[in-house]
Amino acid sequence: MSKSIKAIRGMHDVVPEQTPLWQYLESTIRRILAAYSYQEIRMPVVEKTELFKRSIGEVTDIVEKEMYTFEDRNGDSLTLRPEGTAGCVRAGIENGLLFNQIQRFWYMGPMFRHERPQKGRYRQFHQVGVETYGMDGAEIEAELILLSARIWRDLGLENIELQINTLGSAEERAVYRDILVKYLNAHKDQLDEDSIRRLDSNPLRILDSKNPDMQGLIETAPKLMDHLGADSSAHFTRLKMLLDQAGLTYQVNTRLVRGLDYYCHTVFEWVTDSLGAQGTVCAGGRYDGLIAQLGGKPTHACGFALGEERLIALLEDQGIKPDDTAPHVYLINVGTEAEIKAMELSEILREKVPGLRLLLNCGGGSFKSQMKRADKSGARLALIIGEDELQKSSVGVKFLRSGEDQRMIAMSDLPDIVDELLN
Ligand code: ATP
Ligand code: MG
């Protein structure tokens, strides 16, 4: 026998035992997005490598070392999408959806990053992305934050905290960058290897460092918040006011800079301490500069992405269970004629009893073995058709989860009785 082939490291199957929780997560999110009148957009999973280089930035972790990049048969460099924003903007420009328009989009699907796999960090993972276009001001940012808060609330999740920060305008960021680099250069002896490398390319990311030896240095670093112009300050103040008004609590975290180059003004993260090191379940912010950077007309933009695997882990951790998805009814049938009748009956029942989950025994088997399958399926009722029942045009009803006596009912009464028994 040849050796079996395994899945790729960091890429996981979601087996049927786990899918009800995923469906609960995704259907809750879809319902909330509909309540805010956001529209779904679907993009390819593969894009030209250039798209990500140009949008995410050459000197980010993602582009430097995490992308799945390959040459296709034509020799074009393609990349499995590491995130959805770039593709969404590309699609928006290409389909004429952005210029002079107001849009609220969402998408859901797999993303790919070649990271070191660990709890909450995978090479194929799933995001729900929400992107809005054409809107300036703090209102749309507040709406995105309220929308995400509603997701946690409706899922029944607790212990997820909101952190916000402002990165100011592109110009203010550039000025601050110089101030920060000057400060960090003056303390170069205290920087680790990673930070020295970032000093030229992406100095703001140094503030994000998790290295305990550098925390003192980061604490006393100049803050972007102190170098904002009046407009940017007012923008941030208004966002805080809107969140206060909505009764949301938050922490201003001046070290929150996000890994991607295209953010400006508001950035935010939802963080939990229940998941160990990988505690950010959702992250986003404003990215006004990106559309022009990708060849479109300048357009306001902001959005967020949430990590589905981390939310699933949190749902499990907090003992939140989806509704039962086991079949209501298992239809047992023994004998060639009974098999034909059972198939007909199962279609009638599905037609006449809305919401019914009926599992029809296929592939034969003795009465005893079918009974075992019925029990294992988790069904509440076993319906039984054998030669005897067939002759009497009736069906046996056995209650699998209660002590009620087995009984016989007329086939013609079956839809009404099943409906009654289940409701
Ligand atoms: P992190 O700091 O955890 O690496 P990030 O800043 O790279 O996150 P984003 O690009 O903002 O993450 O993606 C948004 C969300 O997607 C994250 O907050 C997280 O929940 C999820 N996510 C990102 N990378 C992974 C991954 N490799 N595996 C699982 N989920 C991920
Ligand atoms: Mg990352």
Instruction: Please indicate whether residue 127, judged by its CB atom, sits closer than 6 Å to ligand 1.
Output: yes
- Kindly report, residue by residue over 247-302, the tens digit of the pLDDT: 999 999 988 987 666 788 999 999 999 998 889 999 999 999 999 999 999 999 99
- In angstroms, the CA 270 to CA 162 distance is 5
pLDDT, residue 60, reads 82
Q: How confident is the model at residue 339 (pLDDT cuts 50, 70, 90)?
A: very high
Task: Give the sign of the dihedral formed by CA 300, CA 239, CA 141, CA 252.
Answer: positive
Backbone angles phi, psi at 18, to 5 degrees: -95, -20
- Taking the centre of ligand 1 as the mean of its atom positions, its distance from the CA of residue 292, in whole angstroms, is 25
pLDDT, residue 260, reads 66
pLDDT, residue 118, reads 96
Mutation to probe ligand 1, out of 64, 85, 125 (largest number of atoms < 8 A from CB): 125
- Taking the centre of ligand 2 as the mean of its atom positions, its distance from the CA of residue 41, in whole angstroms, is 24
- In angstroms, the CA 126 to CA 110 distance is 4
Tell the residue nearest (CA) to atom 9 of ligand 1: 283
Tell the residue nearest (CA) to atom 14 of ligand 1: 305
pLDDT, residue 52, reads 95
| Nearest atom in ligand 1 to 120's CA | 29
pLDDT, residue 261, reads 65
Is the predicted pLDDT of residue 340 greater than 80, yes or no? yes
Is the predicted pLDDT of residue 156 greater than 70, yes or no? yes
- Taking the centre of ligand 2 as the mean of its atom positions, its distance from the CA of residue 115, in whole angstroms, is 8
pLDDT, residue 307, reads 98
Upper half-sphere CA count for residue 282 (Cβ side, 13 Å): 26
pLDDT, residue 259, reads 60
pLDDT, residue 412, reads 94
Instruction: Please indicate whether residue 327, judged by its CB atom, sits closer than 6 Å to ligand 1.
Output: no
- In angstroms, the CA 291 to CA 406 distance is 67
Name the helix (H) or strand (E) containing 116.
none
pLDDT, residue 108, reads 98
pLDDT, residue 1, reads 74
pLDDT, residue 421, reads 84
Mutation to probe ligand 1, out of 128, 270, 280, 290 (largest number of atoms < 8 A from CB): 280
- Kindly report, residue by residue over 61-90, the tens digit of the pLDDT: 899 899 999 999 999 999 999 999 999 999
pTM of structure: 0.93
Beta-ladder partners of 103 = 133
Q: How many residues does the chain have?
A: 423
Give mean pLDDT, residues 46-74.
Answer: 93
Backbone angles phi, psi at 364, to 5 degrees: 70, -150
Contact 379, 398 (CB under 8 A): no
Instruction: Please indicate whether residue 56, judged by its CB atom, sits closer than 6 Å to ligand 1.
Output: no
Region of poorest pLDDT, from 17-26, 54-63, 256-265, 308-317: 256-265
Per cent of the chain over pLDDT 70 is: 99
Instruction: Please indicate whether residue 307, judged by its CB atom, sits closer than 6 Å to ligand 1.
Output: yes
Mutation to probe ligand 1, out of 56, 65, 160, 278 (largest number of atoms < 8 A from CB): 278
Per cent of the chain over pLDDT 90 is: 82
What are the strands of the beta sheet with 329-333, ordered from one edge? 358-360, 329-333, 381-385, 394-399, 407-410
Instruction: Please indicate whether residue 114, judged by its CB atom, sits closer than 6 Å to ligand 1.
Output: no
Give mean pLDDT, residues 33-58.
Answer: 96
